Every structure is written in structure tokens, then in C-alpha cells.
């Protein structure tokens, strides 16, 4: 679905998706959530986009779910809203392309859950992240209780979830919530530099690696290692592997075609 709340630009193999509700600090209303889900599903099937960067317009990445929309919900409506957000963010997690979050400001509640759905998080020094839902007498609804412990460990996750405390970018990096912290003016350049490095590799292999890492949080280590052996073998049926190994032996740069 087309939405004024979401902008997408693709150039030279990199798609930049921008949340575009700056007047509301990119709060995640139903229209924006639906647009996120549809956009990442489409980009997953678009050969022109090999890596995706997600960021927010204005001062925030996403300040959270839209409280003005939620305030009058009943239990059934609240559950449906949660399911809509879960579906949207699952489209990011399951997107076969690497997704980099460029966190330019507040990433709170649903905004933090959105950032955690991405594969890599680069934050501006001005960014603040957290799950403050407890202050509103509501639990996280878009996967925060599941994603946060996997990134920072259960104890730190419980502290942040129980207190609603926001963390600044440097602390977020220290606890493993973000990968890298940069000055605001370098945020998009850093994300683009990483995207350009990643896009040079085989899109098929990147998909397999992302799938395998995602599996690691959901299955036993034995099952995950079995899956890794499977995809390792599958790689030997691809043209990209032959090109990569031949290029290595010939001491030249490979040209991967995603086949």
C-alpha cells in the first residue's frame, strides 16, 4: 500500500526506507505499520534492492506506538494492533535482504522494537532507546519482551522493561543493543558505507546466512548446526560460489549475480 508516512528510494543496489511522520516523531499508527510490512515484503522480492537501510525523518527514528490511536482500544482491538505490528516487523526479520537501522533519534517502545527487528543497528550519539511501556501500564506489544533479552540478556532486559528506563547510544552499544555509535552527520554515510560493502557479496549467500542466524534463536544448537550444513551444501550448487572461488584463485574481484 502506498502511504505518505513511508518513503522508499532505491539507488545502486541500496534501498533507503524512511519513516515519514516527523510531526508525530514517526509514531507507529496502523497505516504506517501496514505500510512497513508491505514495503519490506516488496523489497524482499525486488532484485534492485540488495541491502536496505531503515531510518526516520526528523528528530526521531520512531518514538513508539501511536498512543493517540490506542487510548480508547478494548482488549480485542489492542490484540489486533499488536498482531499488526508483529506482522509488519516479521516482514523485516524474514526479508531475505540485510536490513540496517540508522537510528537517528528516539527509538522507544515500538520504535525500539522496530530497530531490534533489523539485522544491524547504527545509532547517532543523540539516539535514545528503550521500552517505556511499563509507565503506561501496558506490556510491549511488538516483540520487545522476546527481542530485547536475546540482544542484551534477560537480566538487563528485565531491568529496562521493569523500569522503563531509556538508554543513551553509548550505553546501548555497551549492552549490545546497537552495533555502532557515530556523530549525527555521519549516521547515513556510515550506514551507506556498510550497505555498499555488504551489497558486493552474493545475495543468495547473504540470504542463507541471515536465515541461519535467525534460526539460531529459535531452535536447538544441534538443529541449527544441521541447518548450517544443509545451506553450506546448497551453496555448492550456485553459480555465485563458483564465481567467488574462481575469482579468489585468479586473484580478481568476483562479480556475483545472485544465481
> Looking at the structure, do residues 140 and 212 belong to the same domain, yes or no?
no
Task: Please check whether residue 89 lies inside any domain of the structure.
Answer: yes
Distance CA 5, CA 32 (A): 6
| 28-63 pLDDT per residue, tens | 999 999 999 999 999 999 999 999 999 999 999 999
Task: Please check whether residue 85 lies inside any domain of the structure.
Answer: yes
> Looking at the structure, do residues 114 and 208 belong to the same domain, yes or no?
no
CATH number, domain containing residue 105: 3.90.226.10
Mean pLDDT over all residues of the chain? 95
> Looking at the structure, do residues 89 and 128 belong to the same domain, yes or no?
yes
**Cell numbers representing residue 207 in the block:** 540470504
CATH number, domain containing residue 209: 1.10.12.10
Task: Please check whether residue 131 lies inside any domain of the structure.
Answer: yes
Task: Please check whether residue 234 lies inside any domain of the structure.
Answer: yes
Closest CA to 162 of 190, 193, 139: 139
Number of domains present in the structure of the chain: 2
- Kindly state the average pLDDT of the residues 190-219: 94
185 phi and psi angles, rounded to 5 deg: -70, -15
Per the CB < 8 A criterion, the answer to whether 208 and 230 are in contact is: no
| 118-171 pLDDT per residue, tens | 999 999 999 999 999 999 999 999 999 999 999 999 999 999 999 999 999 999
Distance CA 62, CA 128 (A): 10
Task: Please check whether residue 28 lies inside any domain of the structure.
Answer: yes
Distance CA 153, CA 174 (A): 12
**Cell numbers representing residue 19 in the block:** 519513516
**Cell numbers representing residue 114 in the block:** 522496530
Closest CA to 208 of 236, 181, 242, 188: 236
> Looking at the structure, do residues 122 and 22 belong to the same domain, yes or no?
yes
The parent domain of residue 231 ranges over: 203-249
Which positions are catalytic? 113, 133
Name the residue with cell 554515510: 189
Amino acid at each position: 500500500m502506498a502511504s505518505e508516512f513511508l518513503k522508499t528510494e532505491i539507488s545502486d543496489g541500496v534501498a533507503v526506507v524512511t519513516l515519514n511522520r516527523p510531526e508525530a516523531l514517526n509514531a507507529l499508527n496502523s497505516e504506517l505499520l501496514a505500510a512497513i510490512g508491505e514495503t519490506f515484503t516488496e523489497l524482499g522480492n525486488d532484485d534492485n534492492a540488495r541491502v536496505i537501510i531503515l531510518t526516520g525523518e526528523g528528530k526521531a527514528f520512531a518514538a513508539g506506538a501511536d498512543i493517540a490511536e490506542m487510548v480508547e482500544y478494548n482488549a480485542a482491538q489492542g490484540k489486533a494492533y499488536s498482531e499488526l505490528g508483529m506482522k509488519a516487523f516479521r516482514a523485516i526479520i524474514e526479508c531475505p535482504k540485510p536490513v540496517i537501522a540508522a537510528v537517528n533519534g528516539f527509538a522507544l517502545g515500538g520504535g525500539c522494537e522496530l530497530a531490534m527487528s533489523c539485522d544491524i543497528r547504527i545509532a547517532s550519539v543523540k539516539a535514545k532507546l528503550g521500552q517505556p511501556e511499563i509507565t503506561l501500564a501496558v506490556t510491549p506489544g511488538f516483540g520487545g519482551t522476546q527481542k530485547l533479552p536475546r540482544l542484551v540478556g534477560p537480566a538487563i532486559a528485565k531491568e529496562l522493561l521493569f523500569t522503563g528506563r531509556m538508554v543513551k547510544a553509548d550505553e546501548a552499544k555497551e549492552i549490545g543493543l546497537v552495533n555502532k555509535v557515530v556523530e549525527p552527520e555521519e549516521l547515513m554515510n556510515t550506514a551507506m558505507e556498510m550497505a555498499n560493502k555488504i551489497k558486493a557479496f552474493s545475495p543468495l549467500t547473504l540470504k542463507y546466512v541471515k536465515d541461519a542466524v535467525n534460526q539460531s534463536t529459535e531452535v536447538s544448537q544441534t538443529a541449527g548446526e544441521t541447518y548450517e550444513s544443509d545451506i553450506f551444501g546448497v551453496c555448492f550448487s550456485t553459480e555465485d560460489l563458483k564465481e567467488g572461488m574462481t575469482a579468489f584463485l585468479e586473484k580478481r574481484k568476483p562479480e556475483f549475480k545472485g544465481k
